[in-house]
Structure 1
């Protein structure tokens, strides 16, 4: 196992530094420049657009699509991922997480706009799509769509679910009954049975309950973090000084780039917000909006909510508390120690409850997330019930494996698989970027004209406005 972990860590290190970091930075900066900083310039517009509702109540609204993608983003990475980045990379990881969030949000805008433009129409009139579909229709490379779908399936059904399972069981290390030999096994078996029960047709009430309670838990988590920071308000100036000094300690970064705050901040930020990975466009394509850019703008908010609010809440709470950070407490223990400085043993219990809810919805959500990819691989038809039962049973077994593997292996597998998705999606977005940018220009032009007229109407998109071939699209046609 040690040899396997070492190989995984080596692949992970090379993949992210220098290759993927350069790809992400170049793509993000390119989109930021070409869109004239859309993620900042049109932030206010995004807040207005989120209120747009479809004509038919049966269709998915822009807000609903954003909530779906936000639900998939919000999870154990907001707690354990940030903690790991700080403990292993240093306080400066927080700064680089912020930087990459702002830069990568432009990539999130482009991928979601493309998903809207090239979305497909189902028999009942609803819409669906994602990277596999804009790769096939716009890039005319169905073989690459297949490769992307395979990466998406193994990333969410294997990599992310193993990591969520590991992160959940790690929260129990704070309790006296925890035994490294038996506790992960027990938790793994329980999780595998519960997940299997839910995805194999049962547990609808459980899924519905967690779907309602997790947003409440997310809000309460931010409030709790603010309480922790308020109790340690005297350390806040020194905390920010530490974040910035560590972030710009280039001598330290250069001495070990792969394990530096720079790389950890970018890796954990990407894992949490998934900007440019190619996952959120699957949800974005389901929305019924008047203009593709509307959904692109709304999806930017999802990235900000995940990183600038939830991830930052974890980072500032932990650093302000002043508790010791080291490799030994990386993950849930560091966060539990921080919250315990104010709430005592109840703080550790609160984090455990939060992790159980976040991890469980992540486990279930990830399995539903791969349905779109499975349908695409099955010639755009739903796979048989027998196949899906076997597939979900294997996924439940993977959840068990995640609970018992070492921390390094869980993170490395998730990083590598997620990196594979990003390697495909971001270059495709750069190639097709002009389509999204032209759509943005069309949107802003219409918005200015409507404001001059004093009209409250929203911009309406037609493929011909940006010289797209209507025959390749299911929506945005003149006759529609």
Structure 2
């Protein structure tokens, strides 16, 4: 059978699966899970907003006081390092290219629906992290191992008659995770870097690929501690620089702020036709693209970031859950919103109809918005931003894939995965990735299916752990803490807490 025929069949099959995975039923499931967890936790992201801000971003400078004691031999990482590693994977091309795609396909109204999916996604991510910490365990190297595969196997699997279902879903999740790590987590990101660097500076893709492969090998093969130490420095730096430049563009075009906000709200509810189409289809496109790109950007519900959040040295599941809330807040409510205002305020989109006036697409649309203020520097800056954003995403996803590989084949075989992952960086830089991107996009979405089944099945457990935390830490009641599903870890954590209290 000719190669073209095989590729054609693969493309058709993938297109059909992708249509379901990222179709309306899946988006309803994703957002529906967030709505359920929001209700079960009594709108925790709003009712305890002061508490979670104080105990996440507000506690960074006293990190040593709120985390467990570590020594040179310990393999765990701090809460802030776990956040940065997770943000490294979530703050990526989705925050630049994804926002531009949402506006181009769904009109300005898509941004409103990105906000909605992020609001409820905060509690989906919260729930994943709570379950990740609660069901995690140590491996032979004393590293914490947690994630959807563990709460599927040990949480869902512990329910009557569900042992084999839980174990099967855990294996499926791990397989989909490994596949997605090579696609969206590796080749897709590296290809974006190579294309942007070539267009901005004329550097050949192969040269970029070899450079990134060497750099990736130095960090990735070093393991989680090295990835965490790099992302801890890289993520805040790149996010702050990008946001400062984007805010400058917004300030220069501040006179457009009212029109931009009005366009977003009207486009979201079909008060005007999006892209000149009929109102009904305009709303549908705004909803679909806003939700799809929102989920793609912050990954809430995919079960990805929980694998690195579970490696934190925190004892309280809810504390790491609050970092999950902050992660979605920072990724979508802050970074994506500022990117959207940068594009919409720069005159590249007709705010009356939602039509993109510019001929540019994807990252180039954002680059053109920056160029309205910074000139040619705007294009170079976005190319560098994509380099940092996308490479950090590759680092984060290498850890996700490692955890999926470890679950299936054991800790001692992870180096095999890491070597193959690093080698594929060059492949990603030099090949046409349209089909590979589409397949990995499908695998990325398929991760969400077993993960969301686990979150929904264990929603009662999340509710109990959250109530337990609120009673102890906010209402100051004397209640036995819920820290781990494993008795020996629960006992150790209780003893550590007692020692700290003394």
CA contact (8 A) 1:292 1:461 kept: no
1:264 is aligned to: 289
Alignment equivalent of 2:461, drawn from 435, 443, 450: 435
Q: Secondary structure at the match of 1:288?
A: coil
1:419 is aligned to: 445
1:55 is aligned to: 68
Give the CA deviation at 1:337. Answer: 0.3
2:347 is aligned to: 322
1:396 is aligned to: 423
1:132 is aligned to: 149
* TM-score for both structures, normalised by structure 2: 0.81
Would the alpha carbon gap of residues 220 and 394 (structure 1) be closer, same or farther in structure 2, given more than 3 Å must change?
closer
Q: 2:98 matched to 1:81? A: yes
Give the CA deviation at 1:421. Answer: 0.6
Where in structure 1 are there 5+ consecutive unaligned residues? 454-458
Mapped partners of 1:306, 1:353: distance in 2: 19
Which aligned pairs between 1:34-433 and structure 2 lie closer than 5 A?
Answer: 34-50=40-56, 51=59, 53-58=66-71, 59-123=76-140, 126-140=143-157, 141-172=166-197, 175=200, 187-188=208-209, 191-192=212-213, 195=216, 199=220, 212-249=233-270, 252=278, 254-255=280-281, 260-324=285-349, 325=356, 328-378=359-409, 380-383=410-413, 385=415, 387-388=416-417, 392-393=419-420, 396-397=423-424, 400-401=427-428, 404-405=431-432, 409=435, 411-433=437-459
Q: Secondary structure at the match of 2:188?
A: helix
CA contact (8 A) 1:28 1:104 kept: yes
CA contact (8 A) 2:106 2:286 kept: yes
Would the alpha carbon gap of residues 77 and 473 (structure 1) be closer, same or farther in structure 2, given more than 3 Å must change?
farther
1:247-300 C-alpha deviation (Å, 9 max, x unpaired): 112884743788x12111111111111111101211222223342111111221
Q: Secondary structure at the match of 2:490?
A: coil
Give the CA deviation at 1:231. Answer: 0.8
CA contact (8 A) 1:81 1:268 kept: yes
Mapped partners of 2:205, 2:464: distance in 1: 51
Greater displacement, 154-163 / 263-272: 154-163
Where in structure 2 are there 5+ consecutive unaligned residues? 60-64, 158-165, 350-355, 496-502
Give the CA deviation at 1:171. Answer: 2.4
Would the alpha carbon gap of residues 214 and 25 (structure 1) be closer, same or farther in structure 2, given more than 3 Å must change?
closer
Q: Secondary structure at the match of 1:323?
A: coil
Give the CA deviation at 1:190. Answer: 5.4
1:106-161 C-alpha deviation (Å, 9 max, x unpaired): 11111100111111024565532111111111122222211111111111122332
